[in-house]
Amino acid sequence: MDRGTAVIELENVGYSYGGGELLSDVSIELVPGSFHFLTGPSGSGKTTLLKLCYGALLPTSGQVRVFGEDMRGLDRDQMAMLRRRIGVVHQDCRFLDHLPLADNIALPLTVSGREAEQEGGDLKELMEWVGLSSRASALPPELSGGERQRAALARAVIMSPDVILADEPTGNVDWEMSQRLLKLLVELNKMGKTVLIASHDLALIRAAKSQVSVRVLRITNRKLQLAGADL
Amino acid sequence: MSRGAIRSLFLGDPQAARVVPPSGFTAHLTLFVSGAMAFLTVFALALSLASGRLADRWAEELARSATLRITAPMDQRAAQTEAALKILRQTPGVASARALTKEEQAALLAPWFGADLQIEDLPVPQLIEVIDTDPGYDAAGLRLRLSAEVPGAVLDDHTRWRRPLVDAARSLRRLGWIAILLIGGATAAMITLAANAALSANAQVIEVLRLVGARDRYIAQAFVRRFTLRAFGGAVIGVAFGLAGVLLLPSASDEGGFLTGLGFQGLDWLWPMLIPLLGGGVAFAATWLAAHRALKGLS
């Protein structure tokens, strides 16, 4: 594949915390419209790998290119612009605790200078989809873990980003809701968005496989491997 | 920073201001510090301007004048005065020489002896006011000539007591300006501390904003705007109190001498109006630097 066609490209990436090496020699290309799951034991570096993909961490060796740009070469404003094209769902979803939920979900629009009012229809629809319409004026600390995760996903996709990175997005929600969230991600993927989800949830991965063509990546012994089709 | 950023700072982006949670108590502290500093600045400014005025006036008035005192028996006084005036008129560097009238001499003595003094009854020496030209005259030569021709004349060119007074007034003015600089620096330091505290208290807010793609300018602006407006508001209040204090000072008067007149005169009143602007500017710069330093440390 030509360089630059992949939205996110890791080349021989290594990452070390203090003394120990967490990831080494990781190479991966996420092409537009691909749907990947990232699995692996706890502490194997799934979250770290996601953070490398959106620039929260810089690799200790190797190169990360996002939209064809070397992550190391970006200044802070360019990094901010890049984040607007990548929707991220953190494992510990953080919000602005003093603002109501609707404002939090619309926050990416607000900070990029787009009027939340203009996109009010989208916001309403999105909140309905994730089942949070009735909680629009609630403050984030009043939400349950599952509600927070749904809100984080809604916030991640409101800008209609090119890439969606999600860290255990269905960890705290029931099966029915996880299906709904998956459906949202699948729909976005069908629109051409690149999706990468870190998850333990094998049932979720199977459910996804029945809807789209999914590739599963597994981290074992600091390396990233393409998992077999037998999963 | 660009013009647009400055404009949006003052016109305000209510959304940007909202992303930082309101802070009740520390806001009042910033307001208080800024107000107190502005109050002190008003007095430092009043001191500087008044002592500057004093130094200029003394240097101006005294440098160009000298006094010739003629102490002589009553019957010779008029003759000696006439002779001294003649010598002075011939002296190069003397612009004019004029014998003070009896009324003027009486007015000089009035503060000590009362207004209804009969000056004719007293052996008061005759005073001659000497105004010199720019290069001045040769004081030693003039003294020599006077001592030969007008034995009762004593020339006092004021330098003896003028210099220390002018020096003192100038030092006072310098101290006033140093005080203003220190107050400005202390304000900047305190606003920086307050801004740093606010930035660390809102670390999670900043992290979330960076995650969703907010640029540093957007995040910094929310803090900068808040502190600038607070410092400006505090300074307005401080200046108002300071000016009220200055208005209550006794006004300049001949009776009070140089200790009065510490307030502002004429256009000087415009100077304190600059204090809130400067306070706001100091807060703006301090918060801007603090915010950008703090943001650099985050991904």
Query: Looking at CA atoms only, how far is residue B295 from chain A in angstroms?
Result: 9
- Among chain B residues, the shortest Cα distance to A82 is held by B213
| Residues of chain A found within 8 Å of residue B217, distances taken between Cβ atoms | 77
pLDDT of residue B1: 47
Cβ pair B21:A97 closer than 8 A = yes
Domain covering A1-85+163-231, topology? Rossmann fold (3.40.50)
Chain A residues closer than 8 Å to B204 by CB: 94, 97
Q: Residues in chain A whose beta carbon is closer than 8 A to a beta carbon of chain B?
A: 55-57, 76-77, 79-84, 88, 90, 94-99, 103, 107-108, 110-112, 155, 159
Domain spans in chain A, listed from the N-terminal domain onward: 1-85+163-231, 91-160
Yes or no: say if B272 and B242 are a contact pair by the CB < 8 Å rule. Answer: yes
Residue B256 has pLDDT above 60, yes or no: no
**In 3D, which of A41, A13, A27, A49 has the Cα closest to residue A196?**
A49
Q: At B297, phi and psi to the nearest 5?
A: -80, -10
| Predicted confidence (pLDDT) per residue in B205-255, tens digit | 998 999 898 999 889 988 898 899 999 999 999 999 999 988 887 765 555
Q: How many residues does chain B have?
A: 299
Which residue carries 């009035």 as its tokens? B110
Residue B295: closest CA among chain A residues belongs to which residue?
A76
User: What's the rounded Cα separation, in Å, for the pair A25 and A15?
Assistant: 9
pLDDT band at B260 (very low <50, low <70, confident <90, very high): low
Distance of CA B109 to the CA centre of its chain: 32
C-beta atoms of B19 and A90 within 8 A = no
Report pLDDT digits (tens) over B160-191.
Answer: 677 788 888 889 889 999 999 999 999 999 99
**Residue spans per domain, chain B:** 3-59+163-296, 72-151
Mean pLDDT score of chain B? 83
CA atoms of A112 and B30, how far apart (whole Å):
30
Q: Does B23 touch chain A (CB under 8 A)?
A: no
Q: How far apart are the C-alpha atoms of A151 and A153, rounded to whole Å? A: 5
Write the residue in B212, B216, B299 that is nearest to A155 by C-beta: B212
Cβ-nearest to A112 among B19, B213, B295: B213
Residue of B146 and B2 predicted with greater confidence? B146
In this model, does residue B128 exceed pLDDT 70?
yes
- Is the confidence at residue B136, as pLDDT, over 80? no
pLDDT in tens, A154-205: 999 998 899 999 998 888 788 888 888 898 899 889 989 999 999 988 889 9
pLDDT, average across residues B41-67: 82
pLDDT level of residue B257 (50, 70, 90 thresholds): low
Supply the pLDDT for residue B251.
Answer: 65
Element (H or E) spanning A91, and its range?
none
Residue of A nearest to B211 (CA): A83
User: One digit per residue, pLDDT tens: chain A, 231 residues?
Assistant: 444 478 999 999 999 988 788 888 889 999 999 999 999 888 888 999 999 999 888 899 999 999 988 888 888 899 999 999 999 998 888 899 999 999 999 999 888 887 656 666 778 888 888 889 999 999 999 998 888 988 999 999 998 899 999 998 888 788 888 888 898 899 889 989 999 999 988 889 999 999 989 999 998 888 888 876 544
Residues of B in contact with A57 (CB under 8 A): 299
CA A229 – CA B10 distance, rounded (Å): 59
Give CA–CA dist A177/A145, Å, rounded: 13
